[in-house]
Structures are given as structure tokens and as C-alpha cells.
Amino acid sequence: MERTCPGLLYMFLSRATTIGTPEDRSTSAIFFFTNELTKKRIQNLTTTMSGELCKKIARRSKWIQHLNKNKLKLKISKKQKQDLISWAKGTTVSQKIVHKIVEDTSWRKSNSLNF
């Protein structure tokens, strides 16, 4: 599962609300019905059983490197930053306006989903 959906196991574990009791782990939100889920496997979700780097992990790493390399460096003064924070704290947008913005497709280059 983790090879085809990187990060999904982490997402499951990070949202767990209980680990059950020492006597009964079956009530745990992170209980798994398999002996294949070992500590070693959880600690290294980026490789296959043979040690090969998972394709999606490699692609994700390449994409992250690209983003980091092409990161836009913003130059903003402390006053501008404080003004922006103040504006954000004091600004509210109604649900009606949010729906209007979301439903407006004129700004899109494509109507297809980008993921």
C-alpha cells in the first residue's frame, strides 16, 4: 500500500485517536490484521522488500528537489509582514463570496483536475 500511496500510512497513524489497551489492542485506531507490518517496515516505507527505491517515492523526491531549486524568494519588510497579518486577522469572507469565487472558472487554463 505505501509504495503506491506514499504518505498514506503516516496519514492513518497521525489521525489515530486511541491505541486501545495493553490487554486488547483490537480497539486501537491503528490496529492492523497482518504480521507483515513490522517496526522495520514502518521505519523504511521508501523501499521495496528487495531494497529498491519505490518509483513514486523517487518521483516525489525529484519533484521536491525541483520545487526547492525553483523556490521564489520573497523580500518583504517586517512592517509589510505585520500589515499583511493584521489585514488577514481583520478580514472575513462570506460563504456566498467563497462559492462565487470557486464557481468562477474563467481564470482556469483547463477544466481538468491537476492531480
Per-residue pLDDT of the chain (115 residues; tens, 9 = 90+): 666 776 777 777 777 777 777 777 666 666 655 666 667 766 667 777 777 888 888 888 899 999 999 998 888 999 999 999 999 999 998 999 988 888 888 877 766 655 4
Return the half-sphere exposure (C-beta side, CA atoms, 13 A cut-off) of residue 95.
Answer: 0
Using CA of residue 96, residue 97, residue 101, residue 104, what is the dihedral sign? positive
- Model's pTM, two decimal places? 0.39
